[in-house]
Amino acid sequence: MKLKTYVLSTLCFLALLSSCNKDDDNSIDLIPERDRTEQQVSDFDSLQKYLKTHYYNRATFLETGDHSISEIIIKELPKDESGNYLDMPDPDNNQMLSVAVDIDNPKTTTYQEVEYQFYILELNEGGGVNPNFSDNVRMNYNGFFPNGTSFDGTVTPIELDLMTLIPGWREVIPEFKTSEGFVENSDGTVTYNNYGLGVMFLPSGLGYYGDPKGSVPAYSNLIFKFELYQSEINDHDGDGIPSYMEDLNGNKNLYDDDTDGDGIPNFLDPDDDGDRILTINEMTRQTYTVDTNNGEEEPILSEGEFLRSRTNNGGVLTIKTLKVVDSDNNGVLDHLQEDVKIDYSIDN
């Protein structure tokens, strides 16, 4: 699947180039790198033109019930013999995308030091929880170009790690919520209800940019329909800290947070500060016992306290947590300071 190839694509491409002889007649024709700011201006103009000339079947989604991406029908305005656009047909049931997404108020984000603008069509927010930008998600989707050609998609729900996908997904998916609930059917399938449903319209800079992927040309604007069912908080390195909490500079790019400068980003590094004490051991540990049979309620975790494990034995919950520590009160947590070497696991 193309989405999951994004993260390592640059390294793989460089490795391929290094194995090619410059004098080889079959050498790869490189696509010139474009200026990101200039490309975004061009991409955004193209996105707006698309939204102003296409409409969707709005009335379908005003009906109660759970809808699917297969029901989302986007069409281009009809044209006369001279190629001029005509009015949208059946305005009682259809709506221009430019109106549906509020074209004058795009979403914005900064990526690679460039401010990007993109659009989201929200058809159903969902009734569950908002995923974090680094979580695992379970969903269906269909990706296609502005000309309507599909290039990727799923037939049945698939689990995806948002950190392995194009950056636009890390911006859009957390804007929606997971399903409110689900039912396991007798045939082994699962039916979800009140899940997030929408369409994202992305410039190339939040997609694959200048790196062609299969049938996706370089510098392609991309559109995705999606259904968001479930999410799970990721802890990629198993250090006890959710990956989204290791985004120290808050830019939703975990690869540029590397406290000890060892070339391994914190969210993949079990020893963030390089002091040879594992991050998980530089946090204090707490165990809560909750007897739900007696009406006891679960504890509310404090700031910087994360769930480590949870078991249920006949209604008696055992909840174990980890909590970050700033032992010298200097505003920097122990697991991010090489000169603070306290192993809280020794007495636990």
Weakest-pLDDT range from 11-25, 59-73, 319-333: 11-25
Half-sphere exposure of 147 (CA within 13 A, CB side): 4
Tens-digit pLDDT profile for residues 214-264 = 999 999 999 999 999 999 999 999 999 999 999 999 999 999 999 999 999
324 Ramachandran zone, left/alpha/beta (phi>0; psi -120 to 50): beta
Q: Looking at the DSSP assignment, which residues form a beta bridge with residue 140?
A: 227
pLDDT average, residue stretch 33-57: 97
Cα–Cα distance between 202 and 207 in angstroms, integer? 7
pLDDT of residue 32: 82
* Domain 2-232, CATH number (from 3.90.1150.10, 3.30.56.10, 3.10.50.40, 3.60.70.12): 3.10.50.40
The closest alpha carbon to 200, from 168, 228, 161, belongs to: 168
Where are the chain's structural domains? 2-232
pLDDT average, residue stretch 2-16: 47
Tokens of 173: 């998916």
pLDDT of residue 346: 86
pLDDT average, residue stretch 323-336: 96
The closest alpha carbon to 235, from 129, 163, 139, 336, belongs to: 163
Write down the pTM of the prediction: 0.88
Tokens of 126: 């969902």
Tens-digit pLDDT profile for residues 161-219 = 999 999 999 999 999 999 999 999 999 899 999 999 999 999 999 999 999 999 999 99
Contact criterion met (CB below 8 Å) for 236 and 215 = no
Residue 347 has pLDDT above 80, yes or no: no
Say which residues have a Cβ less than 8 Å from residue 344's Cβ, sequence separation at least 6. Answer: 281, 282, 283, 284, 285, 325
pLDDT of residue 22: 38
127 compared with 26, residue with greater pLDDT: 127
Q: Looking at the DSSP assignment, which residues form a beta bridge with residue 227?
A: 140, 197
pLDDT average, residue stretch 129-152: 97
Q: What is the mean pLDDT of the chain?
A: 92
Cα–Cα distance between 319 and 128 in angstroms, integer? 23
3-state SS string for the chain: CHHHHCCCHHHHHHHHHHCCCCCCCCCCCCCCCCCHHHHHHHHHHHHHHHHHCEEECHHHHHCCCCCCHHHCCEEECCECCCCCECCCCCCCCCEEHHHHCCCCCCEEEEECCEEEEEEEEEEECCCCCCCCCCCEEEEEEEEECCCCCEEEECCCCEEEEHHHCCHHHHHHHHHCCCCCEEEECCCCCEEEECCEEEEEEECHHHCCCCCCECCECCCCCEEEEEEEEEEECCCCCCCCCCHHHHCCCCCCCHHHCCCCCCCCCHHHCCCCCCCCCCHHHHCEEEEEEEEHHHCCCCCCCCCCEEEEEEEEECCEEEEEEEECCCCCCCCCCHHHCCCCCCCCCCCC
Tens-digit pLDDT profile for residues 273-306 = 999 999 999 999 999 999 999 999 999 999 999 9
Residue 17 has pLDDT above 50, yes or no: no
| Enclosing H/E stretch for 117 | strand 114-124
pLDDT of residue 271: 98
Tokens of 338: 């090489």
Share of the chain above pLDDT 90, in %: 89
